[in-house]
Homo-oligomer: A and B are copies of this chain.
């Protein structure tokens, strides 16, 4: 479904949103460990997220690190995909046809169109902070987002 790049981008951003703040910036070391991802590769991805779409904020030097502003927390999850140029999952034809629409549908269009619509909704209507809130409400215990988990 998504590339490793997109998965790490989502995991890292959610991790930073969950554990960090402007007063408590997180270093790349902690983030990579927290989401179980390769450190340097993740650093590259975070660069995309700080530059391309300003989803993540960063500060260099001692006490520096990554965090999300309140503004960024209101962004839809789609903004993360956009930063790593993978928004197209939302719109792409399941058979990979360049043209696939209601008037020129591919043979799977009827079956897929509603799923695609829901994917679109999920990524566009869900704010990053919303994921944080829901996660904090639950008593979840997650393996890969290690530092984030709570005991069951």
Interface residues of A (CB under 8 A from B): 1-2, 4, 7, 10-11, 14, 18, 77, 89, 92, 94-100, 103-108, 110-112, 114-115, 118-119, 122, 126, 131-132, 134-135, 138, 140-145, 152
Contact = CB atoms under 8 A, between A and B. Distances in A.
Contact of A145 (B1, B7, B106): B106
A92 B6 CA distance: 14
Contacts of A108: 10, 77, 122, 126, 131
The 4 closest A-B pairs by CB, nearest first: A7-B96, A107-B131, A97-B144, A107-B135
Contacts of A94: 1-2, 10
A89 B126 CA distance: 21
Nearest to A128: B107
Contact of A138 (B14, B95, B105, B131): B105
A92 B138 contact: no
A96 B140 contact: no
Nearest to A114: B118
A104 B140 contact: yes
B111 A142 contact: no
B122 A115 contact: yes
A100 B104 CA distance: 37
Given A98-B144, A99-B143, A108-B131, 11 more contacts: A7-B95, A77-B108, A96-B144, A97-B143, A105-B140, A106-B144, A108-B126, A112-B122, A114-B118, A115-B119, A118-B118
